[in-house]
Each structure stands twice: as structure tokens, then as C-alpha cells.
Amino acid sequence: MHTTSDTLALIGNTPLVLLKGPSQAAGAEIFGKCEFVNPGASVKDRAALFIVEDAEARGTLQAGGIIVEGTAGNTGIGLALVANAKGYRTIIVMPETQSREKMDTLRALGAELVLVPAAAYSSPCHFVHTSRRIAEETPGAIWANQFDNVANRRAHVVGTAEEIWAQMEGRVDGFTCAAGTGGTIAGVGLGLKAKDERVRIALSDPHGAALYDYYAHGELRSEGSSVAEGIGQGRITANLEGAPIDTQFRISDAEGYSWVRRLLDEEGLCLGLSSGINVAGAVRLAQQLGAGSRVATILCDTGFRYLSTLHDPAWRAEKGLV
């Protein structure tokens, strides 16, 4: 029986599962990386661990220090767990529009939670800028800076991409996911391209984000809106610089949610909307690549984190997501 004596070693090495419904729809094999198996129940645990250990290696994070971050929730949860295991404190700044489950989880983990109104990135009140100011004003604190800290991307180059390649026995035709910080798609893309330049990397962008038009037409321009949490980007972050994006899809909330429902009803997977958008993108990519292709995507986090939002019928009706 395999055991580990280090709880942080539980991060990563997540299972890869063949998704039957999406595979049948695409006439291909579509695999989902089960990132909800991480201790913090999301893919963001990987970035959290690498960001903290990078700060330790550079000497900017000292014993008893404080980690400050602005996040839609999941990175904050990952940072809080890593910080607890290593003896640090966390201050997490989050938009007040995020799910109650994320807020409750962060408080339960012992993080100091600072809620701010949702604001455009250009506003000094944006959660990222607020977290930077708090870090600058707090003795012994570092700013995790997940959007522009490339330790985030490195977690996926040396971790997620290597795992996907090994689990699929080197037979990978394509990979897709959405971008929040850009760390996952850029890191996995770079890692898989290093194995085989022919692997096709696709961005699955929600409405309201600007990256679809950037990669399609060279212009950062958004269209529509999305209720998906933690994905969608309006700028080229440091993690996205040099990302090997070959093609791009714009995925609606309705299309993403249809896969969330199907995967729950038909395959027993309870996921969030970002996972549904990723799966919708994987179906499109596999259809583009042709029958028999093999495509991987990210199942970002657990749907149990969205019981008061996505999985609540009254909330969906209010958002017009039926």
C-alpha cells in the first residue's frame, strides 16, 4: 500500500478519467484531469504550493510570515492549506460576488478574509490591487501575485503536463482549458509541446473575457458576460506570455452548464461551471481534430463549492441559466 508522510505531497498526481458522454458526442476520446481530488479540491492547489515554495527559495517568505493574495477563492483555499502546513498566516482578498461556500471554506481554514466589491481591473479597488496594497503595508507579508508570478505556470509545466503525458502514454492530440491567471493553459501547453510539438492547444474562453478575440484577431476585446467563477481574463498576464495557443473557442454559460448537468446526471461527477466550459471546449477541439483523436482537459474543482449558486435552481433562474 502506498503511503506518504508529507501532506503537501497529496497535491498533484490526480487521476485522469475517460468522459463517456463527451467522448461519444465528439467521436473521440476525451479525458478529464480530476483536480477536485487535490486537498483543497481544486487545480489551484498546484499553483499555491509552487508560489509558496518559490518565495521560500528566494528568501522573501520567512518563518512565521504572512501570505496575501487576491483570488476568486480557489487559489486562496490552496494557499491557506499550504500555509497551515508550513506555519504561515494568510490574508485573502476576494470579490464579494463569489460563492458563499468559498468564503465559508476560507474562514474555516483560518484565513483572514477581506471581501471587496467587484470592480474592473482598471479600478484601484479591484481585488488584485487591494491585495497588493495590503501586502505592502503588512510587516512580514509577501504578495502571492498568482496572475503574474510564473511559479504558477511552472507548476503545470513540471506537474500537470508531465502527468497527462504519462497517463495518456504519450498519445495526446490536444489539450484545452479556460484561462483565469493563464497558468494552467500556458504551463500545460508548454509542457506538452516540449514532448510533441504537434499537440494542439486550444483556449476555451467564456463570454465576457477578452482572450478569444486576442488569439483570434490580435485584439483584447470582450463580448457578453459569464457567471463562471475564477476564469475569464481581460489582459495578457505574465503567465500567459508566450502561451502556445493554436486555436480558440468561445463557450457560453449555457453550453458549459449543459455538460455540467450531463456529467452529473449520467456519470456521477459534480463539477463547477468552469469544468463544464472546459469539457465543451474539449468536445469542440476533438471534433476539429477528427474521429479517434485523444483530448485532455481540466476538471477544475468540485461542484460542492457552488451549491448556493450553480447548483441552486433559484439562482440559475435568476441568472437565466436554465
| For helices 273-289 and 253-267, angle between their N-to-C axes, nearest 10 degrees | 90
Q: How far apart are CA 115 and CA 96, in angstroms?
A: 5
Q: Which residues are identified as catalytic?
A: 44
Q: Are the C-beta atoms of 115 and 91 separated by less than 8 Å? A: no
Question: By C-alpha distance, which of 235, 282, 232, 284 is closest to 253?
Answer: 232
Cell of 124: 484601484
Question: By C-alpha distance, which of 285, 159, 178, 192 is closest to 240?
Answer: 178
Question: By C-alpha distance, which of 158, 154, 152, 200 is closest to 180?
Answer: 152
The dihedrals phi and psi of 30, each to the nearest 5 degrees, come to: -115, 125
Q: How far is CA 46 from the centre of its chain?
A: 10
